[in-house]
């Protein structure tokens, strides 16, 4: 009983002292800075264990050593498409010797005779610059240029019985002209077993070719053709045939009103 009373007295004395110390400390240190927070050096605390570096497991180390899926994917290499270069026309002097491509067809014309290709030559005639001279004997067309020069083109002319001569002006020009065969031609070809259309629109299949120059009020024209083999020959019904490239070149050089002389 005495021991219990002593313990109660000690506890009361300790509680009173503690209360006094707290009151004095709070009254004196009310406006002082709080003490710094210090981490416990006890590494056994549960939250501090999270700060320790964890060793990777064997499975994690193996996954890190494996190549990534992106590296293992097959890489497709696209080869550049080779574009075939067009053959260049080599010139020997002033005459081309290689084949060239027609304007109205995707096939290549093999020009066996280099003299059938256009060339600039000397001219000593009386025609003025800008005039056209059609020489049916030579089967050549000359466009007179300034400086006593002329542009010479190979042509196809009228077959026997369809030759003609005269002087006319270019009254009209047409790009990919249509074709209306004369009645006489339709009847003539019908007797041969060939039926001609009454009208054919311009295009690659049209025998008038890529360009046409109309001569006066006649039925004759200087025009292209889809029959390149006929150039240099006398097979037409009187018109002057030219390779499509050549008639396109002539078309750009000759205005309406130019004088054309067929001899």
* Cβ-based burial of 98 (10 A; exposed 0-12, middle 13-18, buried ≥19): middle
Q: How far is CA 214 from CA 104, 115, 174, 218, 234, in A?
A: 20, 26, 8, 8, 20
Among 33-42, 92-101, 213-222, the range with the most confident prediction by mean pLDDT is 213-222
In eight-state DSSP terms, residue 29 is S
Rounded distance between C-alpha atoms, residue 247 and residue 225, angstroms: 9
How far apart are the C-alpha atoms of 8 and 18, rounded to whole Å?
15
Cα–Cα distance for residue pair 153/138, rounded to 1 Å: 11
- pLDDT tens digits, one per residue of 128-170: 999 999 999 999 999 999 999 999 999 999 999 999 999 999 9
pLDDT at 105 over 80: no
CATH number of 115-262: 2.40.440.10
DSSP state of 216: T
The answer to whether 250 and 131 have CB atoms below 8 angstroms apart is: no
Alpha-helix residue ranges (DSSP H) falling in the chain: 2-28, 58-65, 69-72, 183-191, 244-253
The residues annotated as belonging to the active site are 223, 239
Band (102; pLDDT cuts 50, 70, 90) = very low
Query: How is the chain split into domains, by residue range?
Result: 115-262
Instruction: Specify the DSSP class assigned to residue 43.
Output: T
Residue 151's closest CA among 127, 130, 120? 120
Q: Are 131 and 258 in contact (CB under 8 A)?
A: yes
Average pLDDT over residues 176-181: 95
Structure tokens belonging to residue 56: 């990777």
pLDDT (mean) for 81-100: 44
């Amino acid at each position: 009983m005495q021991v219990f009373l002593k313990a109660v007295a000690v506890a009361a004395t300790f509680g009173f002292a503690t209360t006094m110390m707290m009151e004095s400390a709070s009254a004196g240190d009310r406006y002082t800075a709080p003490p710094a927070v210090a981490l416990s050096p006890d590494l056994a605390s549960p939250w501090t264990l999270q700060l320790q570096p964890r060793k990777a497991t064997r499975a994690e180390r193996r996954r890190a050593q494996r190549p990534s899926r992106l590296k293992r994917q097959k890489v497709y290499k696209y080869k550049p498409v080779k574009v075939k270069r067009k053959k260049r026309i080599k010139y020997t002097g002033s005459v081309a010797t290689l084949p060239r491509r027609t304007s109205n067809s995707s096939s290549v014309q093999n020009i066996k005779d280099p003299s059938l290709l256009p060339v600039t030559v000397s001219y000593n005639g009386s025609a003025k610059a800008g005039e056209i001279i059609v020489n049916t004997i030579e089967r050549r067309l000359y466009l007179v240029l300034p400086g006593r020069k002329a542009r010479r083109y190979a042509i196809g002319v009228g077959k026997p019985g369809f030759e003609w001569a005269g002087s006319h002006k270019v009254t009209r020009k047409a790009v990919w002209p249509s074709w209306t065969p004369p009645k006489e031609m339709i009847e003539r070809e019908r007797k041969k077993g060939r039926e001609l259309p009454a009208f054919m629109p311009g295009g690659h299949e049209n025998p008038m070719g890529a360009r046409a120059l109309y001569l006066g009020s006649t039925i004759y024209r200087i025009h292209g053709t889809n029959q390149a083999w006929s150039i240099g020959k006398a097979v037409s019904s009187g018109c002057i045939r030219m390779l499509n490239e050549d008639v396109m070149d002539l078309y750009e050089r000759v205005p309406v009103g130019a004088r054309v002389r067929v001899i």
